[in-house]
Structure 1
Amino acid sequence: MKKDWKYILYIAAAIVIYIAFSLMAPRQLDWRITFHRDHKIPFGGYALSELIHDVFPGKKIHKNNYTIYELYDTIQRPVNFISISTDFSPAGDDAKALLKNVAAGGHAFISAHNFYGTLSDTLSIETIDYYFEDEHRHFLSEKDDSSRLQFTNALLPDKGVYLYPRKNIHRSFTIHSDSLKIKTVAENDVSLPVTIIVPWGKGKFILNCTPMAFTNAYLLPGENHRFAATSLSYLPVQDVIWTEYYQLGRMEAATPLRFILTNEPLRWAYFITIISLIIFMVFEAKRKQRIIPVIKPLGNTTLEFVKTIGNLYYQQGEHKAIAEKKINYLFDQIRTRYWINTNKLDEDFTVSLAKKSGKSQEDVRAMVMSIKNIQSQPSIAMEALIDLNDRIEKFNKTHTA
């Protein structure tokens, strides 16, 4: 058990050292494009999440990960919808719900690189990448070039120019219809629209195709936060529903432990607890070995018994009894090995035993005569017993099985 605890302590120490080094090591930047309101990574939306309260002072900002269709049934009056994503292509029901809200007097601010689907077709707009337009292809070779964004309304108090890396800001709108009276409110340095207003019923859509301008990396340095604030200011000051579904989906774990798994400290505690329990179970599950006593095998007492009985007979001078036992044992061997009947010790017995044992007839005949003499006498001397023993030993050493 002590050895088991020793290994557990080694593993626990290794885990602690690993966690300590992980916490002390410099963190690598996460360059994922998430636009998430809680992400402080370069392309997260934490800065915008803080800025938006200044744009809509005193109003409720409902941040969620639901579709517009799911949210539409919960609102009591037209509201501001906000969505920032790489692509905006709501399903048919989502697009219809959004169009109904705006038509009833609501407003929607949507920023995305690409617009597809029902909403894009209904509003007759799409986005293009001017890198692939012949007249602007020269921008491809200007790797360090900056794209300049500016609002078109000369009455705005902020008439500044906002600089962004062109590698992230090179989309623009293409408008296919003049019937909707679409208005350009911001454009890039090649006079292409990047932010437009599309009237719809009693409300309007504010569409933008530079979502990277709303990330932490471009809101925090310099005065670029003014571009985001001014763009959002085209929405009326009222309650806002900000959905991130079209970039991140549900953002919830499909498990009853979703609260623990979505909270980083709780998630770490949960996994460390599980791993510790598994390690403990592995070591405890090992079979506990007790010391098995060495049991000395039983000795062969037969030989000792024979010696004891032999000494007893010998000390009492019963040479005839000893000889008869040796004769009986010899007869048992002859019957077992050579299949010869030992009831009659005649000449045929002698010849047959000599042939099958490979012994000379003279030796076998002498042994048989010695046996007959002993059997015919009531007692024998020790010399006769020794002679019988020598002849039997000689026979046993020279016979063939």
Structure 2
Amino acid sequence: MKKVLPILIIIVALIVTASLAISIKRTKTVDWEESYDEKSNKPYGVSVFYKELPKLFKDYKVRTVYHQPASYLIANSEDGYGEHVAEGSFIIIGNSDYLEDDSVDELLNFVDAGNTLFISDYSFSQKLHDTLYISTDFIENEKDSISHLSLKYVNIDDILIDRNEGDMYFSSFDSINYSILGYSKIDYLHPNFLQVPFGNGNIYLHLEPKVFTNYNLLKEDRYKYVEGVMSYLPANDVYFDSYTKIQTGYDGDVEKESNLSWFLEQLSFKWAWYTALVFGILFMIFNAKRRQRIIKIIKPLQNTTVAFVKTVSNLYFETQDHKNLIDKKITYFLEKIRNDYNLDTSVLDDVFTEKLTLKTGKKHEDVKKLVDFINWLKSKNEFFEENLVKLNRHIEAFYSK
């Protein structure tokens, strides 16, 4: 052991020295990708804006929408299967080109019913252009990379945005019925923020999404511009679009990093950690052979049924595999119906509903709601947590009555 110890010290010293040399050569780069991800702390993520939304719309609920507006708004309509009726302001920041025609139609219906749509992006879907009769154009910033933004009717004037190659602006629109709420300035003023009345509601179109990013909100007094823009929106519930961030393929490094990542970025802590780790491994290697034989302790067998159930339930909760769990609950329920009431469950139609009602003595309307909801779930490919909760409530109600 005395001969081995100096060799170990030399090896550890070499490892630490090589690691330090490699870390010094590494250059830390900044990711300037415009992800507009509400969970990203990178310069062009929108985590700061997203966290401030509850303060901007105090006493109102802020919901994050991870689905196409068409499916979400239909599900959360008066005749839908959602847990609430969607009413308020639908906000989309960046990457709005994902919107399909049916989603545009549902958003327009949402606004027509007296709600609000706010989109901040460099361009909009073609259907939105055609429906609202708007056109946009681009002016290059030839002098520098700075744009000057201002708002009308709000005391916000000449807010600077740097790292900007140019500005998008509205080149044509209905100047009689539409209201200009803001401008960008390169050489002269260009309208870049419009209020468009539509039915009983309003559409707000904004052409500079960068102002909502972390980089700009945390720099100087640029946050005042964002506060001014949001002040045009009515005080009500907010629906924040996050479907675009899933579809754009953004790698989401922020969410994948562990809590230890920040500490490992601190040079002193990082090498103290690595040194302790190396010595710990070496200690375990050279102490693997104990001087005294371990006396094995035989523990009595335990009933692990409850622990197994908790483990399986935690697995489903962590993986968020709602579809798998919904399929299993439906399969188990139908199997029990076959065993208890000797009914064929291959076709869940009105005849099956009537037979099940007669066999169980339940109310026909309660049985029909359960069967219709199971059929609706079978027709879907995408499931949410609320679908699973609602199915469980239906099944529990069926057995309790």
TM-score by length of 1: 0.53
1:164 aligns with 161
Q: Give yes or no for the alignment of 1:129 onto 2:134.
A: no
Tell me how many residue pairs correspond in the alignment: 241
1:196 paired residue among 194, 197, 206: 194
2:129 paired residue among 117, 120, 137: 120
2:258 paired residue among 249, 258, 265: 265
Structure 1's unaligned 5+ residue stretches are: 1-9, 132-138, 269-401
Could you say what secondary structure the match of 2:121 adopts? strand
TM-fit CA distance, 1:233: 1.7
1:211 paired residue among 209, 212, 218: 209
Equivalent residues in 2 for 1:236-385, closer than 5 Å = 236-249=234-247, 263-265=256-258
**Change in 2 beyond 3 A, CA 1:18/1:127:** farther
**Residues 161-191 of structure 1: CA deviation (Å, up to 9, x unaligned):** 2011272551111234346x11000012222
TM-fit CA distance, 1:262: 5.9
Could you say what secondary structure the match of 1:235 adopts? coil
- d(CA) in 2 for partners of 1:118, 1:19: 56
Q: Does the CA-based 8 Å contact 1:89-1:117 persist in structure 2?
A: no
> More deviation in 91-100 or 46-55?
46-55
Could you say what secondary structure the match of 1:188 adopts? strand
**Residues 144-177 of structure 1: CA deviation (Å, up to 9, x unaligned):** 5x22111121xx3x33320112725511112343
Q: Give yes or no for the alignment of 1:41 onto 2:42.
A: yes
Q: Which amino acid is the alignment partner of residue 185 of structure 1?
A: L
1:185 aligns with 181
Tell me how large the CA RMSD over aligned residues is.
3.6
Q: Does the CA-based 8 Å contact 1:171-1:210 persist in structure 2?
A: yes
Q: Give yes or no for the alignment of 1:234 onto 2:235.
A: no
Q: Give yes or no for the alignment of 1:152 onto 2:152.
A: yes
Q: Which amino acid is the alignment partner of residue 257 of structure 2?
A: E
**Residues 225-266 of structure 1: CA deviation (Å, up to 9, x unaligned):** 01111111211111111113235418699xxxx9xx964339
2:319 aligns with none
Q: Does the CA-based 8 Å contact 1:47-1:219 persist in structure 2?
A: yes
TM-fit CA distance, 1:53: 2.0
TM-fit CA distance, 1:73: 2.1
Q: Which amino acid is the alignment partner of residue 42 of structure 1?
A: P
- d(CA) in 1 for partners of 2:178, 2:73: 25
- d(CA) in 2 for partners of 1:90, 1:67: 8
- d(CA) in 2 for partners of 1:22, 1:127: 47
Q: Which amino acid is the alignment partner of residue 227 of structure 2?
A: A
Q: Which amino acid is the alignment partner of residue 228 of structure 2?
A: T
Could you say what secondary structure the match of 1:101 adopts? helix
Q: Which amino acid is the alignment partner of residue 199 of structure 2?
A: G
Equivalent residues in 2 for 1:58-73, closer than 5 Å = 58-73=59-74
2:116 aligns with 107
- d(CA) in 2 for partners of 1:226, 1:22: 40
Identity of aligned residues (%): 22
**Change in 2 beyond 3 A, CA 1:262/1:122:** same
- d(CA) in 1 for partners of 2:115, 2:24: 47
TM-fit CA distance, 1:81: 0.5
**Change in 2 beyond 3 A, CA 1:192/1:29:** same
Could you say what secondary structure the match of 1:177 adopts? coil
- d(CA) in 1 for partners of 2:38, 2:24: 24
- d(CA) in 2 for partners of 1:175, 1:36: 31
- d(CA) in 2 for partners of 1:243, 1:23: 41
Could you say what secondary structure the match of 1:44 adopts? coil
**Change in 2 beyond 3 A, CA 1:252/1:183:** closer
TM-fit CA distance, 1:209: 0.3
- d(CA) in 2 for partners of 1:248, 1:103: 28
Q: Does the CA-based 8 Å contact 2:133-2:174 persist in structure 1?
A: yes
- d(CA) in 2 for partners of 1:249, 1:19: 39
TM-score by length of 2: 0.53
- d(CA) in 2 for partners of 1:19, 1:92: 55
Could you say what secondary structure the match of 2:149 adopts? strand
Q: Give yes or no for the alignment of 1:81 onto 2:90.
A: yes
Structure 2's unaligned 5+ residue stretches are: 1-10, 77-84, 262-401
- d(CA) in 1 for partners of 2:41, 2:158: 26
- Rg bigger for which structure? 1
Q: Does the CA-based 8 Å contact 2:65-2:72 persist in structure 1?
A: no
**Residues 352-383 of structure 1: CA deviation (Å, up to 9, x unaligned):** xxxxxxxxxxxxxxxxxxxxxxxxxxxxxxxx
Could you say what secondary structure the match of 1:113 adopts? coil
